[in-house]
């Protein structure tokens, strides 16, 4: 069984969605959570997260499973 591919994109630029290795995204999520005074990470579904800055209420980035992967 293969592991899922994930994508990362900024919320206001979904056309620039890019595939990212799981290790890179895991490292990014750890980094966002470590700096909890700057970022909020919210799980919005199975294999789907939003990243927000504390002074904004809208998400700035979205990490999700690549739905176009076979």
- Rounded distance between C-alpha atoms, residue 69 and residue 50, angstroms: 20
Q: CA of 29: how far to CAs of 11, 13, 41, 54, 57, in Å?
A: 16, 20, 8, 15, 19
Looking at residue 70, its pLDDT comes to 47
Looking at residue 68, its pLDDT comes to 59
Instruction: List the domain boundaries for the chain.
Output: 6-65
- Tens of pLDDT along the chain (70 residues) come to 677 788 888 888 888 888 888 888 889 889 988 998 899 999 988 888 889 988 877 788 888 887 654 4
Helix (H), strand (E) at residue 50? strand 48-53
What's the pTM value of the predicted model, to 2 decimals? 0.71
């Amino acid at each position: 069984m293969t592991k899922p591919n994930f994508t990362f994109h900024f919320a206001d630029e979904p056309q620039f969605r890019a595939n990212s290795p799981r290790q890179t995204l895991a490292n990014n999520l750890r980094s966002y959570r470590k700096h909890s005074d700057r970022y909020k990470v919210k799980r919005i579904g199975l294999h789907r997260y939003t990243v927000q800055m504390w002074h904004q209420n809208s998400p700035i980035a979205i990490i999700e499973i690549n739905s176009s992967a076979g």
